[in-house]
């Protein structure tokens, strides 16, 4: 058996083992898991506070945009950490590349800030208006 066939067989065995393990865990959790059918089991309850009202509020898209910005700018720490670990091997050329990367991120951050993507104060007021309307109050 050549090397390629052996690697393919190893991959197939590994995939089968992972599939069996995951299926076994799901089946065991279904068989051994508890089932509560009481009235209190179907009510939402979080952090010791019984919910009041619906959780189906519409949030403006700006809140989701902020979350996407967080994910994007959080990934930069992964790249910078990898660079910091290999700083000796990267040398001055690696330093120059990282400076261009940081300059690009700063430029994007300034563009996003100047475009008003981080100002969501008016959207917060809109959410409060929706909450007051849902409760039947006047804003």
* Confidence (pTM): 0.44
Give the C-alpha separation, 20 to 24, whole Å: 6
Residues 45 and 51: beta-carbon distance below 8 Å: yes
Give the C-alpha separation, 4 to 120, whole Å: 56
Per-residue tokens: 80: 């910078």
The pLDDT assigned to 139 comes to 52
| Each residue's pLDDT tens digit, 75-125 | 888 888 888 898 889 899 999 999 999 999 889 888 878 877 776 665 566
Q: Span 35-63, mean pLDDT?
A: 68
Higher-pLDDT residue of 8 and 48 is: 8
User: Could you tell me how far CA 71 lies from the centroid of its own chain?
Assistant: 7
Question: What is the pLDDT confidence band of residue 6, given thresholds at 50, 70 and 90?
Answer: very high
Mean pLDDT, the chain, rounded, equals 80
The pLDDT assigned to 23 comes to 97
Higher-pLDDT residue of 130 and 84 is: 84
pLDDT at 57 over 60: yes
């Amino acid at each position: 058996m050549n090397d390629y066939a052996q690697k393919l067989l190893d991959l197939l065995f590994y995939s089968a083992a992972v599939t069996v393990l995951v299926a076994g865990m799901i089946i065991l959790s279904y068989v051994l898991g508890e089932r509560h059918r009481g009235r209190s089991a179907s009510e939402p309850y979080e952090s010791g506070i019984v919910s009041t009202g619906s959780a189906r509020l519409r949030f403006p898209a700006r809140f989701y945009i902020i979350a996407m910005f967080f994910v994007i700018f959080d990934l930069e720490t992964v790249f910078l950490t990898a660079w910091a670990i290999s700083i000796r091997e990267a040398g001055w050329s690696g330093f120059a590349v990282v400076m261009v990367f940081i300059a690009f991120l700063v430029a994007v951050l300034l563009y996003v800030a100047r475009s008003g993507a981080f100002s969501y104060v008016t959207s917060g007021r809109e959410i409060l208006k929706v909450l007051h309307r849902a409760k039947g109050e006047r804003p």
